[in-house]
Amino acid sequence: MDTARGVACLLVAVICLSCAAAASARSPAARMHRHLKRFNKPAVKSIELSTKDLLDCYMFRSLQMRPNYHPEGLYDESKSNVASNSNEEKPKVQLWHQNGRCPKDTVPIRRTKKDDLLRASSMRRYGRKGHTTANPMSVSPTMLNEGGHQHAIAYVQGDKYYGAKATINVWEPKIEQPNEFSLSQLWILGGSFGEDLNSIEAGWQVSPDLYGDNNTRLFTYWTSDAYQATGCYNMLCSGFIQINSEIAMGASIFPTSSYSGSQYDISLLIWKDPKEGNWWMQFGKDYVLGYWPSFLFSYLADSASMIEWGGEVVNSQPDGVHTSTQMGSGHFPKEGFSKASYFKNIQVVDSTNNLKAPKGLGTFTEQSNCYDVQNGNNAEWGTYFYYGGPGRSSSCA
């Protein structure tokens, strides 16, 4: 009897311990630990960017170390699509290099911290965004009335596109609410604007919710199902394969442009390698950053059906009125150079792997009294447009 009672007590103790262990594994702290381990692997080297920001250098392996082909015309200095040599444009690099560099055969990845996950609406949604691509064919009253994403863009459609390029003016727009953002980017799009949208995106953004500050940062994004279950920002999931040790996704861009002062640009190119079919990204003239494998996508496995360039903000309608979150410089296009933000030398890659000026360029904005866009063309800037605005004002409530 005593033996049986002892065995029973032992079983109860084991069960209790098992239950406690299971409960502990399901606790928020345990889930947080698992997520951080998934994002942050053992690094070869770590570089401090600031008291809140760290970069880790990771060894990497890639089946393809460089693109087989660049688009024709990319380095033709006689054409206006190459970065201007005028005094108005200053070269830009990421300044984290002054604190150290990643060794050869490693890539820099911004470390994910506990605070990053705590700011997210959920750990599962960290590093992802909702359906935000501008559809020039439809303005949804629901998005405008209930607080959504607003855009001021230029776009082309109606052909097969194999890449896009632009020189983008860099600013540090003011953000009203931490859950809002402001970005300037290019979109490579395939499919419909329903649940099958394929999108590759790159540019600069200010996003307090994602990064914990108001710095302007280089970013990428991708999705193959209209932002539902696939894709993410930067390197926060499998997808984009980085091969470059010099440029970090999610790292701050500095300096930024100032009103009536110095202007700073970045140049971005995304194109489809005609041989392997992967979508490559280049920053400036010197940095091929990496690629999105073609197998990630359905429509973009072949080509893009639309290209967009421009700005986007989140309007959460704080206190029931339009947000004062700025797009671009926070000033309207009519103010022009050094006051309004711009995209210049915008081009598409055609089926012959040539960079060409876009034909039939359209513009689109949901509320031009809040954020607007105006396009033009000249010998120095090629095809360009000014865009942006202040958000809430006497004419945008």
Residues labelled catalytic = 201, 312
Burial letters 224-241, b for 16+ CB under 10 A, else e: bbbbeebbbbbbbbebbb
- Mark 78-114 as b/e (b = at least 16 C-beta within 10 Å): eebbbbeeeeebeebebebeeeeebeeebbbbbbbbe
46, 55, 244 from 106: Cα distances, Å = 11, 12, 8
The owner of tokens 């983008």 is 168
Order of all β-strands in the sheet with 304-314:
232-233, 217-223, 198-206, 182-190, 304-314, 149-161, 362-365
Residue type, 260: S
- Pairing mode, if any, of strands 341-349 and 362-365? unpaired
Query: Do strands 217-223 and 198-206 pair parallel, antiparallel, or not at all (unpaired)?
Result: antiparallel
Distance CA 202, CA 269 (A): 9
